[in-house]
Structure 1
Amino acid sequence: MALEKTRRKVKLGRYMLALRKAVDPPLRPEDIAPHVRIAATTITRMEGGLTQPGFTLLQALLGIYGVTEEQRTEAIRLWENAKQGSTSVEHAADLPNKYRAFRHDEADAALERTLEMTAIPGLLQTPRYAAAVGEASRRLHRTEGWERRAADERHSRQRLLDGEAPLHLHALIDEALIRRITGGREVMIEQLEHLLKVGRQRNVTIQVIPFSAGAYGNMSGPVTILSFPDGADPDLAYLEYAAGGETVENVRDVQAFVDTFEDASRHAALSATSSTRLIRAALDELRNDERAADLA
């Protein structure tokens, strides 16, 4: 099987390389290899992000490098993230290790592109809209207290859009999500008002894909693409489905999702300005329906 460099393995490799070079006097891979009974190339491949060491080898190297407990903890965290490989599964709001690995990637990202046809993207959801979506999928939640954890997790994610160096978000949203009255008219009015408000932020672009666009892009489920400030870090894609998800790191596969997103953005979606008009029109309709219901 061909060796494949991934972002998570690269981050682990760079960290382990820095730990090795910090040893005084400095150690070369060929100095270490006899002590752990491996080839020196195994260490160089690991440090280059091509391979990931087993946990026993990782612990042995950390022992040789004489690391602090803080350094050991960070190395193990990077190792666990890299261990997730190309596939991750998350169960609703349980926040397992694999989903946390994706969240670490998102926190490091400079740009997030998301294509949604099932629900308003999590970064743009109001609490009551999110609760309605969560309630609809309650049978997929397997632990007690998932509502609180989901709310905390979403709030934490949404803070990425604020601050001095905020995450840039480009969201493509199917018109069906604007029209579907999720949680009732009052909840949906609040959600559409929130979209209009957040859409005015300079780091947020919202485009609606209208019904008239017909079929477009990857209609089998949502996709989120992350890009990072370090040009050496390749993009990654996260695919969501019922009660789970999959992280894709293969460069060619990710590029296919990027191309699909860009095609949908240019040829299927309305401009940001026209999208704002559509959202405002849908909001006005809901408000009129609400007033009519109050008068009835």
Structure 2
Amino acid sequence: MRGSSPTLRKRRLVSELRRLREVAELTIEEVGERLECSASKISRIETGRVGVSPRDVRDMLTAYGADAAALEELVQLAREARRKAWWDEFGDIVPGRYVGYEADADSIRSFQGLMIPGLLQCEAYTRALICQGLPNASTAEIDRRVRLRKARQALLREDDPLRLHAVIDEAALRRLVGGPKVMREQLERLLEIGALQNVMMQVVPFDAGGHAAMDGPFVILSFPERLDPDVVYIESTRSGVYLEQQSDVLSYAEMFERLVSASLPQRESFALITEVARTLA
């Protein structure tokens, strides 16, 4: 069930802990003094950089004067947030936080400029990307990364599938990752996945000129529960940035709408993908 993974439960938990501290009109430093721990520990808990135990939650809420019902609810949430998820075994090769958000999301809006989005990649394309980006990776590591990518892609074909609206720059269609044969297979994969009812796919053509997202790719994740506001994820080579402030999310949502306006409609996007695939025959 979407919204039930430990990742999203941890996000809800730390958000509520921060809110209750502010309601109690306590600073992070004051909480640290009351609990006889460092202020940095409280800060790391509230930003989600470290886990939080049920005992920590109980101590913090007692300091905030929270009622018994709220205390028990959040202690239980802390227990659930500590459970293992299937993607934990891949924690050394991928940000578990992002994969958790992706698994919990009911819809995703994404833009990619230089490569095909991960959820839409065929295996040969994924392998070529990994080999080029990680030339020293072992066969075993490559296989693990491919297995993870396939597990993530399964979200698009579940009984209650993830809804995906992907905007792709024409440059990603024409860049010969893995060579012509691999790229033709990849373009055929786009047409196959794009035919799913839960997938909307559009291409920003070269003749659109400059567009709203020239700075780089981004993903906007939306969740089924109102308690879980949207989050923007911006990936970089070594890490990722999560934007959760409402103003930041709104800015990227507006950027995405401008991208959609500059893109070809889905039918014309498919025609362009088909045309590019024919040149690779």
TM superposition score category, shorter chain reference: 0.7 to 0.9
Distance 1:215 1:251 in 2: 26
Q: Tell me: CA distance 1:230–1:139, structure 2 relative to 1, closer, same or farther (3 Å).
A: same
Q: Tell me: CA distance 1:57–1:242, structure 2 relative to 1, closer, same or farther (3 Å).
A: closer
| Residue 280, structure 1, aligned to residue 274, structure 2 | yes
| Residue 257, structure 1, aligned to residue 258, structure 2 | no
Distance 1:176 1:158 in 2: 22
Q: TM-score, normalised by structure 2?
A: 0.72
Unmatched 5+ stretches in structure 1: 1-6, 17-28, 30-35, 40-45, 79-92, 288-296
Give 4+ residue runs of structure 1 displaced > 3 Å after superposition: 7-10, 13-16, 36-39, 49-58, 60-67, 70-73, 75-78, 93-98
Distance 1:53 1:171 in 2: 29
Letter aligned with residue 108 of structure 2: E
| Equivalent residue, structure 2, for 1:111 | 107
| Equivalent residue, structure 2, for 1:135 | 131
| Equivalent residue, structure 2, for 1:224 | 219
Distance 1:133 1:285 in 2: 21
| Residue 101, structure 1, aligned to residue 97, structure 2 | yes
Q: Secondary structure at the match of 1:286?
A: coil
| Equivalent residue, structure 1, for 2:230 | 235
Distance 1:177 1:10 in 2: 33
Percentage of pairs with the same residue = 34
Cα offset, 1:120, TM superposition: 0.1
Letter aligned with residue 254 of structure 1: V
For the 8 Å contact 1:207–1:265, the answer to whether it is kept is: yes
Cα offset, 1:59, TM superposition: 2.4
Match of residue 120, structure 2, among 109, 124, 128: 124
Say how many residue pairs are matched: 238
| Equivalent residue, structure 2, for 1:24 | none
Distance 2:77 2:227 in 1: 23
Query: What do residues 181-233 of structure 1 show as CA deviations (whole Å, max 9, x unaligned)?
Result: 11011111110111011110000011000001111122222101101111232
Letter aligned with residue 76 of structure 1: R
Q: Secondary structure at the match of 1:224?
A: strand
For the 8 Å contact 1:221–1:241, the answer to whether it is kept is: no
Q: Secondary structure at the match of 2:280?
A: helix
Q: TM-score, normalised by structure 1?
A: 0.69
For the 8 Å contact 1:222–1:241, the answer to whether it is kept is: no
Q: Tell me: CA distance 1:200–1:61, structure 2 relative to 1, closer, same or farther (3 Å).
A: closer
Match of residue 55, structure 2, among 59, 69, 76: 59
Q: Secondary structure at the match of 2:159?
A: coil
Cα offset, 1:261, TM superposition: 0.7
Q: Tell me: CA distance 1:95–1:140, structure 2 relative to 1, closer, same or farther (3 Å).
A: farther
Unmatched 5+ stretches in structure 2: 1-7, 18-23, 25-31, 36-41, 63-70
